[in-house]
C-alpha cells in the first residue's frame, strides 16, 4: 500500500513538473525598469515632462508593469485655492507606489518629496504677486505634509 501511494505521488509530481515546464514563463519587466522609473521621478522639469508624456501613452509602457493609479492629493484638495496641483500629486503617487513595489522606497522618498515640491513650484511660477506668494505657501505646506506623513 505504501509503495502504491509513493508511486502515485511520484507520478503526480512528475506530471505537475511536466505541465509547469511546458507553461510559458511569466513576462518579466524589462531590465531597465529602475532606470526608467528614476528618470521619471527626478526634480527637473524635463523629468516631469517625460512622465506626463508617458502617462498620456501608458499602453506603450505596459511591459514595465508600472502602477499608474492615483488618488491625487489624497485627503487634501487637488486644486487648493484654485491652484492645479492634481498632476503633481499624481506623479508623486506614481513614484511612491512604484518604488514601494520595487523595494526602493526608503532610499528614494526624500527625492520623490523634493520632486513633488519642485513640481508644485512650477505650477506657482505661472502666477505673480500675492497670488504667486499664496501658491508658494500652499506648495510649501503640501511639501511639509508629505515629508512628514508620506
Q: Is 92 a catalytic residue?
A: yes
All structural domains of the chain with their residue ranges: 30-149
In CATH, 30-149 is 1.10.730.10: no
pLDDT in tens, the chain (150 residues): 444 434 444 444 444 344 344 444 456 889 999 999 999 999 999 999 999 999 999 999 999 999 999 999 999 999 999 999 999 999 999 999 999 999 999 999 999 999 999 999 999 999 999 999 999 999 999 999 999 999
Residues 6+ apart with CB under 8 A from 148: none
User: The cell 504667486 sits on which residue?
Assistant: 132
Distance separating alpha carbons of residues 147 and 150, to the nearest angstrom: 6
Spot the catalytic one: 54, 92, 93, 118: 92
Residues 6+ apart with CB under 8 A from 98: 37, 66, 67
Three cell numbers written together for 144 = 511639509
Amino acid at each position: 500500500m505504501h509503495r502504491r501511494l509513493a508511486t502515485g505521488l511520484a507520478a503526480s509530481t512528475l506530471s505537475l513538473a511536466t505541465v509547469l515546464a511546458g507553461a510559458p514563463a511569466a513576462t518579466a519587466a524589462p531590465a531597465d525598469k529602475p532606470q526608467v522609473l528614476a528618470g521619471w521621478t527626478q526634480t527637473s522639469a524635463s523629468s516631469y515632462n517625460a512622465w506626463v508624456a508617458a502617462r498620456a501613452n501608458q499602453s506603450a509602457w505596459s511591459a514595465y508593469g508600472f502602477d499608474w493609479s492615483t488618488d491625487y492629493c489624497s485627503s487634501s484638495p487637488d486644486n487648493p485655492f484654485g491652484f492645479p496641483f492634481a498632476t503633481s500629486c499624481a506623479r508623486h503617487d506614481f513614484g511612491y507606489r512604484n518604488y514601494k513595489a520595487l523595494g526602493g522606497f526608503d532610499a528614494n522618498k526624500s527625492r520623490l518629496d523634493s520632486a513633488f515640491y519642485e513640481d508644485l513650484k512650477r505650477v506657482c511660477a505661472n502666477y505673480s504677486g500675492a497670488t504667486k506668494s499664496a501658491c508658494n505657501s500652499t506648495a510649501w505646506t503640501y511639501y511639509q505634509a508629505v515629508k512628514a506623513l508620506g
